Amino acid sequence: MTAAKTVFIRTFGCQMNERDSEIMAQLLGRCDCRLVSVPEAADLVLVNTCSIRDKAEQKVYSLLGHLRDVQAKYGRPRWLGVAGCVAQQEGERLIERMPVVNLVIGTQQFFRLPELLARLEHGEKHVVALDLSKDFVIPPFQHLLNSPSRADAASGAPVQRFVNIMQGCNNFCSYCVVPYTRGREISRPFADILEEVRLLVDQGTREITLLGQNVNSYGKTNQVAAGPRRFPDLLRAVAQVPGLKRLRFTTSHPKDLDLDLMRCFAELPVLCPHVHLPVQSGSNAVLARMNRGYTAEAYLGKVLELRRLKPDITLATDFIVGFPGETEADFAATLRLLETVRFASSFSFKYSDRPQARASQFPDKIPEDAKAERLAQLQEKQNEITFEYNRALPGRTVEVLVESAGENGQGRTPGNRIVHFTAASGQALPAPGALVQVRIDRAGPHSLTGTWF
């Protein structure tokens, strides 16, 4: 019998990648492989990669360079593998550029890892698996559902888990690489999603975030999997799972946020009053060139409607600054939109050319220093607004879902703010999974601390 193979996985990028890595680890666990925590101890080092911006991609190449040096020095890892979005985007070019790479696994092939690893073990020098659904073929989703650690409660189920409901994206925002790296939008069968949620809640998970690049087009593109049901139907069904305390979703596209979905916030008590709704820009000219499919006015209209239906809802968003051709006036419109909506938080990025995406061919690229200047301005404004939200909290009591309880407790508010708390004199802290009321005592620009009574 051969000895158990050891694998080290390093993950970059979004929750999709996190979940894919988790599944790969689980599949390896089924086939005489063991995860290790340092690359030098591994037979295979697998880097699960992100290519959303150039910087993310460059990080991958520098890590691969480092791993090549580790291999030269220690004779280990035996093999280097690349999975995820850079793997899908670059394919065989990765091996041409870095011949030390032995394994390239695309975003829809990761569930074949055990089989591909066996091929390396049988002496193949380079193994490449890149097939991607270019049309609406339903890939085998059972690897998502039947992953072993979903049924492994030994280590205690985390309080909060992500559940994939779809993969891919059909939106082709002109700056974005995801439709090329993740293929066409495919919805996961309704019943499989519900089964996974039930399984997780049975194991002790209390908060579920439904995950996809564009969750609110769930079921619109391949009706085989979802039948006549759409995202609001899915939310209503998941909300009924007994024992589930909180439900969230990410990410939703403003153009697909319809009234039926907005009503869910008013209708479903477990649905947290918080939504991540990436706006990208406040300028209609820029939004049109981005191919976003809405105007700033339409976006603001949806925000008003959401707040009418659910007055305590908080909003988060994403911004891109320095999109090709973005003028000072365009950028000023973005700042105005930020001030009008007063997002509780936002992620903001400098536009980055992605070779496959259309905007990489657009004229009037903005110089790096101008992008950096706009980013700093935007972030300063956002920090002020976030701090104002925080400053309104001391003295108020908020509901916290406890995620950990060591020396201090930590959890999140319905609005997804992290709260650190202590127990009032003498009490033991509540266990992870409990929903408790915490009085906020102090608010910093990025942190909230309080007391549980």
The annotated binding site for [4Fe-4S] cluster is made up of: 14, 50, 85, 169, 173, 176
Of the pair 17, 314, the CB lying nearest ligand F3S is at 17
Residue found by looking up tokens 């996985």 in the block: 9
Cα angle 69-18-445, degrees, rounded to a multiple of 5: 100
The strand pair at 166-167 and 186-187 is best described as antiparallel
User: Which of 214, 216, 217, 281: binder of ligand SAH (CB under 6 A)?
Assistant: 214
Q: Which of ligand F3S, ligand SAH, ligand SF4, none does residue 84 bind (CB under 5 to 8 Å by kind)?
A: ligand F3S
Interface residues for ligand F3S in 171-230 (CB under 6 A)? 177-178, 181-182
Closest CA to 19 of 209, 265, 170, 199: 209
Residue with Cβ nearer ligand SAH (267 or 349): 349
State how far the Cα of 302 lies from the Cα of 391, in Å rounded to an integer.
Answer: 27
What would the two tokens of residue 290 be?
Answer: 């981005």
From candidates 172, 301, 392, 447, binder to ligand SF4 by CB under 6 A: 172
Stretch that binds ligand SF4, among 166-174, 221-229, 344-352, 401-409 (CB under 6 A): 166-174
Q: Rule CB under 6 A: is residue 253 a binding residue for ligand SF4?
A: yes
Could you tell which of ligand SAH, ligand F3S, ligand SF4, none binds residue 172, using a CB distance below 5 to 8 A set by kind? ligand SF4
% helix / strand / coil in the chain, to the nearest 5?
A: 40, 20, 40
Q: Which of 16, 127, 129, 303 binds ligand F3S (CB under 6 A)?
A: 16
Residue among 233, 247, 253 nearest 185 (CA): 253
Query: Could you tell which of ligand SF4, ligand F3S, ligand SAH, none binds residue 17, using a CB distance below 5 to 8 A set by kind?
Result: ligand F3S
Q: Does 39 bind ligand F3S (CB under 6 A)?
A: no
| Strands laid side by side in the 314-321 sheet | 274-276, 314-321, 345-350
Q: Which of 18, 267, 305, 318 binds ligand SAH (CB under 6 A)?
A: 318
Residues 6+ apart with CB under 8 A from 28: 7, 34, 35, 113, 114, 117
14 binds ligand F3S (CB under 6 A): yes
Selected binder of ligand SF4 within 56, 80, 113, 178 (CB under 6 A): 178
Nearer to ligand F3S, 39 or 106 (CB): 106
Site membership for ligand SF4, residue 179 (CB under 6 A): yes
Which of the residues 82 through 101 are near ligand F3S (CB under 6 A)? Answer: 84-85
Scan residues 27-66 and list those touching ligand SAH (CB under 6 A): 52-53
Q: How far is the CB of 236 from ligand SF4 (least distance, A)?
A: 24
Over 340-407, what HEC string results? HHCCCEEEEEECCCCCCCHHHHCCCCCCHHHHHHHHHHHHHHHHHHHHHHHHCCCCCEEEEEEEEECC
Residue whose structure tokens are 């999709």: 16
Sole window of 125-133, 174-182, 199-207, 263-271 interacting with ligand SF4 (rule: CB under 6 A): 174-182
- Selected binder of ligand SF4 within 173, 277, 296, 429 (CB under 6 A): 173
Single out the segment in contact with ligand SF4 by CB under 6 A; choices: 168-176, 186-194, 394-402, 424-432.
168-176
Give the integer Cα–Cα distance in Å for 178 and 308.
33
Helix axes 328-341, 296-309, angle to 10 degrees: 10
Whether 85 and 182 have beta carbons less than 8 Å apart is answered as yes
Task: Give the DSSP letter string of 81-106.
Answer: EEEHHHHHHHTTHHHHH-TTEEEEE-
Nearest to 452 by CA among 444, 440, 443, 442: 440
- Consecutive H or E run containing 314: strand 314-321
Residues that bind ligand SAH (CB under 6 A): 52-53, 175-176, 178, 213-214, 251, 253, 278, 280, 318, 320, 349, 351-352, 354
Residues that bind ligand F3S (CB under 6 A): 13-14, 16-17, 50-52, 84-85, 177-178, 181-182
